[in-house]
Amino acid sequence: MMPHLPLKRFGAARSPCKLNGYSHSRSRISVEFRHPPTQDSSVWLWLTNLTGGALNALGDIVAQLNHNVKTRNTHDKHENWDPVRTARFFIFGASISPFLGRWNAFLERKFPLRAAGAKLSLNALSKRVACDQIIMAPIGLVAFISTMGVLEGRSREQITQKFKDMFVPTLRTNWTVWPALQTLNFTLVPLPLRVPFQSTCGVFWTLYLSTVNAREENKQDREIAMRRTLG
């Protein structure tokens, strides 16, 4: 007699390795679906860069509109929207966003605000804000003035004059606005969203920077035109 062989259920003969691979793929997709892209992912990096550039450009557009509204009933020259100027702000915003992301990650590691189960450390928070404003604020302003000068085609002497006219007053204004905003940013906003938060608040800051930079740009253009006239 032939030995009795137990019947196998449909699908029971699938390869264990295939089953394990299928299960692993499902678990990986499930994890990626439940958790948004992290700060180190390429998708999030591109999104952050584009957001920073777009919001910076928006700030410049608002500044140009604001200038035209203010000069509507005056003798000052009414200027059309300058897309090249807006493009310069987009380039700067998109370029500096990755550095801001790495800087925020460094502050998160260097000055942890909460230990496991502990309350918010005001000492660590004050150190984080102070470090941000004493180190990154001047660096960011230097990057802004330099980048704008280069993209505008200014000479080294003109960029140096920009620093003399803009750096100290703009840094003082920065210190009256950004410490409070960064305190909110560090305490309430998750790490991957801090650069977009800065960029959103930065629309109004860019409006100020754009106005100051345009004033300096017009001043240098008038000086160049005067030298050509006298020469």
CA geometry: angle 225, 228, 231, nearest 5 deg: 150
Chain mean position to CA 72: 33
Token readout for 46 is: 């591109």
* Alpha carbons 218 and 224: distance in angstroms, whole number: 10
* Alpha carbons 227 and 223: distance in angstroms, whole number: 6
Amino acid 28 reads R
* Region of residue 10 (left: phi > 0; alpha: psi -120 to 50; beta: else): beta
**Which pLDDT score, from 0 to 100, does residue 231 have?**
61
Residue ranges per structural domain of the chain: 41-230
Chain mean position to CA 74: 36
Amino acid 155 reads S
**Which pLDDT score, from 0 to 100, does residue 142 have?**
96
Over pLDDT 90: what percentage of the chain?
A: 48
* Alpha carbons 212 and 89: distance in angstroms, whole number: 13
Range name among 89-103, 176-190, 191-205 with the lowest pLDDT average: 191-205
Average pLDDT in the 121-146 region?
Answer: 96
pLDDT single digits (tens) 7-53: 444 444 444 444 454 444 444 434 333 444 555 567 777 888 899 99
* Alpha carbons 46 and 26: distance in angstroms, whole number: 26
* Alpha carbons 193 and 26: distance in angstroms, whole number: 28
The burial of 150, by beta-carbon neighbours within 10 Å (0-12 exposed, 13-18 middle, 19 or more buried), is given as exposed
pLDDT single digits (tens) 111-125: 999 876 678 899 999
Summary count for the chain: helices (H), strands (E): 7, 0
Note the pTM of the prediction, 2 decimals: 0.73
* Alpha carbons 60 and 208: distance in angstroms, whole number: 9
Amino acid 105 reads A
pLDDT single digits (tens) 52-86: 999 999 989 998 888 788 777 666 666 788 999 99
Locus of tokens 């977009």: 196
